[in-house]
Amino acid sequence: MTISGTNAVVVQRGDYKVPSYQISEIALDLRLDPENTEVSACLHFQCTATAPVTELHLDGESLELLSLQRDGRTLAEHEYRLTDAGLVLLNPPESFVLESRVRIHPAANSTLSGLYHAGGQFLTQCEAEGFRRITYTLDRPDCLARFTVTLHAPQKNCPVLLANGNCMATGDEEDGWHWARWEDPYPKPAYLFAMVAGDLAVVRDQYRTASGRDVVLEIYVAERDTGACVQAMDSLKRAMHWDEEVYGREYDLDRYMIVATDSFNMGAMENKGLNIFNAKYVLASPETATDNDYQGIESVIAHEYFHNWTGNRVTLRDWFQLSLKEGLTVFRDQEFSADQNSRGVQRIDDVRRLRAAQFPEDAGPLAHPVRPDAYSEINNFYTATVYEKGAELVRMIHTLLGKAQFRQGMDLYFQRHDGQAVTIEDFVAAMEDANQRDLSGFRRWYGQAGTPILRATGSYDPARHSYTLTLRQETPATPGQPVKEPVPIPVRMALLNTQGQRVPLNGTDRESILLLEQTEQSWTFDNLPDPVIPSLLRGFSAPVRLESPLDDDARSFLASHDDDPFNRWESIQDLAVKALLATVADASLASLPSALRHAVAATLGDAQIDPAFRAELLSLPSEDYIGEQMPVIAVEAVHHARDSLMRTIGMQFVPEWMGLYHDLAATYQRDGLSIGRRRLRNLALSYLIAGDHEGHEGMALYARQQYAQADNMTDRLAAFQLLVQHRHHDAEDILLDFYRRWHEYPLLIDKWFAIQAATPRPETLRQVEHLLVHPAFDWRVPNRVRAVLGGFAANPTVFHAADGSGYAFYAEQLRRLDDLNPQTAARLATPLSRWQRYDAPRQQAMGEALKMLAGKPKLSRDLAEVIQRSHP
Ligand code: PHE
Ligand code: ZN
């Protein structure tokens, strides 16, 4: 696609060069003013190159240079040059001190990258390349410096002044200003720098490390939110303890600070000693947050804490290594959550997320390896592939080596690389060297994009009493990688007899990990007097698409007998997908096939199953997931098929659902069992409402009652969502009521917006247009924009409306957003990249939407790259 006026530089992984200078110290002095902030920086440079350097390029963006001195002398014009990308020092000496003064404009900074002023606070966001928007510097992760930061601000608006490390001194100034000086003893790359100034209340606690050091824990929030930090603080302490227990890693500063803000592009940021969080991942009370919100807080708090070792103490050589910290840290937070809650349910949720976001990415034009080869805007590579698939690769190493060996590899990794900026290769090498293992084949996973297809066939030989399993792999081509090599795939497996017991596999083990390294390999298991049913890819032991050899009866059997929770769930899902695809192909087949009916009945009838897991088993696959299984996604037919299966299951099991709904009623508690019970009960309600005959509103009465009387937000919101999405006659009143009750809680108003935008009704487009001019809508707040636009794009029948109205509307909004916040605009644009998956008229309409965006004046580099790669 031709894009007007872009000359984006493409950065290639192979072009990496060690920096010719290092900066040992950075002293910053900021006079904070929303309109005009002055930043003085003093940087100590040392040459590390052997040959003389004639030009030293410093990064700088949107900076107004006020003065520039080297070793105390103002630089003459022939000694430097200003460019679009920063500042070039000409013939610099071997070592020197550079002092610069620049002016920046925090209130006008709507990109939320660099230093910005939002909601009355000053905040920074420097990953990946935000620090260059604060001062001229070597803004690259392999340049580690010791930071000293002095903040000046008016005492009244900004009583709290924070930066990384330790607070060394504070004082008052004239005109009601004050200052604070912070020092971080650990050298760090600029992307981990942070400062915060504002009127914040603090919730304080303490943690004693395994070696007996006391750490002060602080969470900074608005005064009225101090009661909503219990889950965040508790999760932090549990995460600190877990990292000591499982990895032997302690926290290394005396103070750990977390700041919550409503204005943030991502989930949270692991700045050294001073994490900045999207408020969504900090604030929760039973009345204002759902069980899922609590779960999200636990995992993101842990994720950022774990970065202190995997990311901060050991950091990245360059941005192509992003998964070195993100994949590894996601793996760590997933394992933490699995240890805190139910391992089986956690795994199901993780795989669901991988399949919802990463599989489609890997199958479309934006596919890239976990370690990408090129980028034009690094912000576009904070993807499900780098994060979630990256975590799966670490998990496979863990599976292949074993728990104790993996830990030895981690120990060696930290021992070798503490304080360094390293590569994915260094990580894999540590795993190998600590265990004398060869992972050379495994490295292909990092460089090869695309989701492998794993085809399994098996046969039982009654004469030989043996079972032979054949596995084949194939990875479809992806952009720039037409030919794929086989990758080593660990397939955890067992064979079940007709009683559902695992049988010994050529020895005493009843579970085994087969390693498929070639395109095709076979395994034979002997001494099997009776036929067996294979349970393959247990725990989802590799990020592949499994084409299973099982027929419906075998699946139904596994759905109630497999002792691997993931595979048990997967078996029901497979049955449901199959039934749904049959209905999609022929709507008159809308029925409940007997294998699926048996599986549902068995699950409904088995009160022994943990309620959270039972809820997973009984949840139908999403429309997106069903669509993913089709060559061309039939948007409407998928929607109707799923609706009708919900209705059928709802109707056929009314007494069971009703029983669950009544039996599981309870006063609110926050333990795991209660959470599972709420989940199952709300699922029952959704089936009851789906199964209600047209026009008859008996079940909606339950929802209305639940909405009005719930003693917690999980139940209230579940009922609210059902009433709004089914458009019950008083949905309008309920929307108004919700708004009136919760308008002072931004996170709940986000949900209020999102649920409306996700309503599968023809009139939704018009309503979303109204939402965009609602007084509570704010283009500058990403959470709000994502609620409406993200909710809309996740609404299959409305976003993909056959007349293309959804796409045209959406592109129009992205065009507007791009001027304010390119990073968020580019991220929201990715659903348009999936155009090849739809029918010809939709392809055409999505192409036009992309073309319209491509022609936008002042198109950001972020959005330009997404469009370019989406539609080359
Ligand atoms: N590094 C953050 C994390 O995953 C994500 C992030 C990236 C936040 C870029 C802000 C900007 O923990
Ligand atoms: Zn991270």
Cα–ligand 2 centroid distance for 327 (angstroms): 8
Strands 177-188 and 145-154, bridge-based pairing: antiparallel
CB 782 within 8 A of CB 825: no
What pLDDT score does 4 carry? Answer: 66
Q: Residue 347 is part of a domain; what is its CATH number?
A: 1.10.390.10
Count how many domains the chain has: 4
Task: Answer whether residue 695 shows pLDDT above 60.
Answer: no
Q: Which ligand is nearest to the CA of 191?
A: 1
Task: Answer whether residue 872 shows pLDDT above 90.
Answer: no
Task: Answer whether residue 6 shows pLDDT above 80.
Answer: no
Q: Which residues of 56-82 are buried (b: 16+ CB within 10 A; e: fewer)?
A: bbbbbbebeeeebebeeeebeeeebee
- Asked if residue 283 belongs to a domain, the reply is no
- Asked if residue 814 belongs to a domain, the reply is no
pLDDT (mean) for 674-700 = 89
Among 123-127, 394-398, 698-702, 736-740, the least confident range: 698-702
Q: Give the atom of ligand 1 at the shortest distance from the alpha carbon of 300.
A: 12
Q: Do 51 and 131 lie in a common domain?
A: yes
pLDDT (mean) for 465-492 = 98
Q: Give the atom of ligand 1 at the shortest distance from the alpha carbon of 307.
A: 12
- Asked if residue 379 belongs to a domain, the reply is yes
Please tell me the distance from the alpha carbon of residue 440 to that of residue 488, in angstroms, as a whole number.
10
**Which candidate, 640, 623, 625, 619, places its Cα nearest to that of 572?**
619
CB 565 within 8 A of CB 349: no
User: Tell me: the pLDDT tens digits for 753-796?
Assistant: 999 999 999 999 999 999 999 999 999 999 999 999 999 999 99
Q: Which ligand is nearest to the CA of 114?
A: 1
Query: Which protein residue's CA is at the shortest distance from atom 5 of ligand 1?
Result: 269
183: β partners? 148, 166
- The answer, yes or no, to whether any atom of ligand 1 lies below 6 A from the CB of 268, is yes
User: Tell me: the pLDDT tens digits for 200-255?
Assistant: 999 999 999 999 999 999 999 999 999 999 999 999 999 999 999 999 999 999 99
- The answer to whether residue 127 is catalytic is no
Q: Return the structure tokens found at 677.
A: 């019970």
What pLDDT score does 772 carry? Answer: 98
- Single residue among 447, 474, 503 that ends a domain in this structure: 447
For the chain, percent of residues with pLDDT exceeding 90: 96
Q: Do 432 and 330 lie in a common domain?
A: yes
pLDDT (mean) for 461-485 = 98
Q: Residue 108 is part of a domain; what is its CATH number?
A: 2.60.40.1730
Out of 126, 139, 259, 270, mutate this one to test ligand 1's pocket (max ligand atoms within 8 Å of CB): namely 270
What pLDDT score does 694 carry? Answer: 59
Q: Do 576 and 657 lie in a common domain?
A: yes
Cα–ligand 1 centroid distance for 267 (angstroms): 7
3-class secondary-structure state, position 815: helix
Which residue in the list 218, 270, 304, 361 is annotated as catalytic?
304
Q: Do 520 and 563 lie in a common domain?
A: no
For the chain, percent of residues with pLDDT exceeding 70: 99
Q: Do 322 and 349 lie in a common domain?
A: yes
What pLDDT score does 7 carry? Answer: 64
- Asked if residue 217 belongs to a domain, the reply is no
Q: Do 485 and 592 lie in a common domain?
A: no
Please tell me the distance from the alpha carbon of residue 336 to that of residue 344, in angstroms, as a whole number.
13
Cα–ligand 2 centroid distance for 436 (angstroms): 29
What pLDDT score does 811 carry? Answer: 98
Cα–ligand 1 centroid distance for 269 (angstroms): 5
- The answer, yes or no, to whether any atom of ligand 1 lies below 6 A from the CB of 303, is yes
- Asked if residue 245 belongs to a domain, the reply is no
Query: Which protein residue's CA is at the shortest distance from atom 11 of ligand 1?
Result: 127
Q: Any idea which residue has 């109205």 for tokens?
A: 805
- Single residue among 549, 566, 593 that ends a domain in this structure: 549
Cα–ligand 1 centroid distance for 128 (angstroms): 8
ipTM value greater than 0.95? yes
Q: Do 417 and 461 lie in a common domain?
A: no
- Asked if residue 225 belongs to a domain, the reply is no
3-class secondary-structure state, position 259: strand
What pLDDT score does 676 carry? Answer: 98
Please tell me the distance from the alpha carbon of residue 473 to that of residue 246, in angstroms, as a whole number.
34
Q: 448's torsion region: left (phi>0), alpha (psi -120 to 50) or beta?
A: beta
Q: Do 342 and 443 lie in a common domain?
A: yes
Query: Which protein residue's CA is at the shortest distance from atom 7 of ligand 1?
Result: 127
- The answer, yes or no, to whether any atom of ligand 1 lies below 6 A from the CB of 304, is yes
pLDDT (mean) for 694-717 = 89
Assign 696 a pLDDT band (cuts: 50, 70, 90). Answer: low
User: Tell me: the pLDDT tens digits for 281-317?
Assistant: 999 999 999 999 999 999 999 999 999 999 999 999 9
- The answer, yes or no, to whether any atom of ligand 1 lies below 6 A from the CB of 377, is no
Task: Answer whether residue 860 shows pLDDT above 60.
Answer: yes
Q: Do 685 and 629 lie in a common domain?
A: yes
- Asked if residue 797 belongs to a domain, the reply is no
**Which candidate, 36, 193, 15, places its Cα nearest to that of 108?**
36
Out of 116, 126, 269, 329, mutate this one to test ligand 1's pocket (max ligand atoms within 8 Å of CB): namely 269
Among 50-54, 387-391, 448-452, the least confident range: 50-54
Q: Which residues of 515-549 are buried (b: 16+ CB within 10 A; e: fewer)?
A: ebeeeebebebeebeeebbbbbbbbbbbbbbbebb
**Which candidate, 755, 800, 776, places its Cα nearest to that of 624?**
800
Q: Do 367 and 482 lie in a common domain?
A: no
Cα–ligand 1 centroid distance for 180 (angstroms): 26
As a whole number of angstroms, the longest Cα–Cα distance in the chain is 95
User: Tell me: the pLDDT tens digits for 405-460?
Assistant: 999 999 999 999 999 999 999 999 999 999 999 999 999 999 999 999 999 999 99
Q: Do 392 and 461 lie in a common domain?
A: no
Query: Which protein residue's CA is at the shortest distance from atom 3 of ligand 1?
Result: 269
CB 547 within 8 A of CB 454: yes
Please tell me the distance from the alpha carbon of residue 153 to that of residue 31, in angstroms, as a whole number.
6
Cα–ligand 2 centroid distance for 569 (angstroms): 29
- The answer, yes or no, to whether any atom of ligand 1 lies below 6 A from the CB of 269, is yes
User: Tell me: the pLDDT tens digits for 128-143?
Assistant: 999 999 999 999 999 9
What pLDDT score does 8 carry? Answer: 77
Query: Which protein residue's CA is at the shortest distance from atom 1 of ligand 1?
Result: 269
Taking all residues of the chain, what is their mean pLDDT, rounded to a whole number?
A: 97
- The answer, yes or no, to whether any atom of ligand 1 lies below 6 A from the CB of 326, is yes
- The answer, yes or no, to whether any atom of ligand 1 lies below 6 A from the CB of 61, is no
Helices (H), 194-268: 230-247
Please tell me the distance from the alpha carbon of residue 522 to that of residue 506, in angstroms, as a whole number.
14
Q: Residue 475 is part of a domain; what is its CATH number?
A: 2.60.40.1840
Query: Which protein residue's CA is at the shortest distance from atom 2 of ligand 1?
Result: 269
Please tell me the distance from the alpha carbon of residue 486 to that of residue 496, in angstroms, as a whole number.
29
Q: Do 26 and 137 lie in a common domain?
A: yes
What pLDDT score does 699 carry? Answer: 87
- The answer, yes or no, to whether any atom of ligand 1 lies below 6 A from the CB of 127, is yes
Q: Residue 672 is part of a domain; what is its CATH number?
A: 1.25.50.10
Residue 54 lies in domain: 19-197
Long-range contacts: 93-97, Cβ < 8 Å, 24+? 94/46, 94/47, 95/44, 95/45, 95/46, 95/47, 96/45, 96/70, 96/71, 97/42, 97/43, 97/44, 97/45, 97/70, 97/71, 97/72
- Asked if residue 324 belongs to a domain, the reply is yes
Element (H, E) at 596: helix 594-605
CB 125 within 8 A of CB 113: yes
- Single residue among 693, 723, 738 that ends a domain in this structure: 693
Long-range contacts: 429-438, Cβ < 8 Å, 24+? 431/397, 431/401, 431/406, 434/405, 434/408, 434/409, 435/401, 435/405, 435/408, 435/409, 437/400, 437/401, 437/405
List Cβ neighbours of 302 (8 Å cut-off, separation of 6 or more).
Answer: 235, 236, 238, 239, 242, 332, 333, 336, 337
